[in-house]
Structure 1
């Protein structure tokens, strides 16, 4: 079982994120269960932990010098992300992580959010106050190096646009992509430039405020394509 393998991953993932090595030092402020979770995410994404491999709580706990409680908490979170399967009385097993699926989700998001942006602008229904608040919270979280809050606020920002579009099929399709889980995996498997992410979302908001439909749609589409390239870099390791 690999936990601290020391195998660094090469390559950059885009303007604000790059692939994080599995032995990357934990971010300040993370709880022990979050550190364990993030380490396991990076190793599953990188392929260091193979599909079908069993994660034994006692062994993981020993490697981190902790009790089984934070390990159990981390594994439950990984199950919600679809990265492990917890089988009663049998243990926890790594599920197959299909990197291409992560990339494809961002490609689909690009199409959905470009269309949502167009609908919002044509209807004059930009949720300016909500988006501005999302960006402010991102900026505050970035200054605190709070990865989880930045990730949550990016999801909220895009959800507000999708909901304001008023198209139920777009909204349901967007939600069915499990945006929160995929965003969390992307953030945990990379080294995020949190200030850059906040700046990028301010630029998206500015494009909506300027009112140029084609320019705003192009920016919305390219924003997601950047993340699709990050997922592609993961698959080429």
Structure 2
């Protein structure tokens, strides 16, 4: 089947050269400290102290803390400030089950409409390989999120897109990469395989691949079809 024609990028798609916002830089720095254990359970996060460390006002710090609370990594209470919660990998992995369902549906919608932007997907994959060669884990996570955002937006379903964005994909991808420590070229290979299947025009194969791609990170006792996974030793 001939390859569907690429469509123009969604108007809200950020350019590849876009710099991270200050709030995201702060969020990612705190996220890394929590995941690695540098910030332990119960430790207070003081806005003025964090703002001074980053040389900024408290506004981007508050936004970063709000995002971390949305991820379930901290809790904020009136007049008590924010404290670090126990880091539970399962809360992050559960998001991949939701992503599997959302991205399978988005893939189906986009392929049936012939709307997948193959040029943008190809560019994201090439960025992943470049990041892998440079051992840039942050960069490969952002390129991965960009790849999947292109697919989700191409699905043309606003509610689905908003549900996907609500998962804070960039942050959860960064956490998953830090926790699992995968071989970075292998991450790029996974996306290359997914893109190759999409190019065939086989809707069912592409949907299954999109689902399996996310479910693999859920780390459940069985896969999406009930087949038991090998037990970890």
Same fold (TM over 0.5): yes
Kept in 1: contact 2:34–2:84 (CA 8 A): no
CA distance in 2 between counterparts of 1:163 and 1:228 reads 23
Match of 1:81 among 68, 76, 85: 68
1:208 and 2:198 correspond = yes
8 Å CA contact 1:55, 1:94 repeated in 2: yes
- Which residue of 37, 47, 60 corresponds with 1:43? 37
Residue 163 of structure 1, aligned match among 153, 157, 161: 153
Deviation at 1:180, TM superposition (A): 1.5
> Residue 109 of structure 1 aligns with which residue?
99
After superposition, the Cα gap between the structure-2 partners of 1:34 and 1:172, relative to the gap in structure 1 and judged at 3 Å, is closer
The count of aligned residue pairs is 188
Q: Is the 8 A contact 1:126 1:161 kept in 2?
A: yes
Q: Contact 2:31–2:68 (CA<8 Å) still a contact in 1?
A: no
Which of 141, 164, 167 matches 1:177?
167
Cα deviation, 1:82-110, whole Å, max 9, x if unaligned, reads 32357899665212444333222110110
Q: Which of 69, 82, 90 is residue 53 of structure 2 equivalent to?
A: 69
1:191: Cα distance to partner? 1.2
Distance 1:91 1:170, change over 3 A: closer
Are 2:213 and 1:223 equivalent residues in the alignment? yes
1:137 aligns to what? 127
Partner SS state of residue 135, structure 2: coil
Gaps of 5+ in 1: 1-32, 58-67
Which structure has more RCO (C-alpha within 8 Å, separation ≥ 6)? 1
Q: How high is the TM-score relative to the length of structure 2?
A: 0.67
- Local SS of the residue matching 2:181: strand
Structure 2 residues without counterparts, runs of 5 or longer: 1-26, 223-231
> How far apart, CA to CA, are the structure 2 residues paired with 1:122 and 1:34?
36
- Which whole-Å deviations, capped at 9, do the CAs of 1:153-200 have from their partners, x for residues lacking one? 100000000000111111111111111221122122331311000111
Aligned equivalent of 1:190 = 180
Q: Per-residue CA shift, 1:112-149, capped at 9, x if unaligned? A: 10111111111111110000000011111110001111
Q: Quote the Cα distance in structure 2 between the aligned partners of 1:144 and 1:217.
A: 31
Distance 1:41 1:99 in 2: 9
RMSD: 3.6
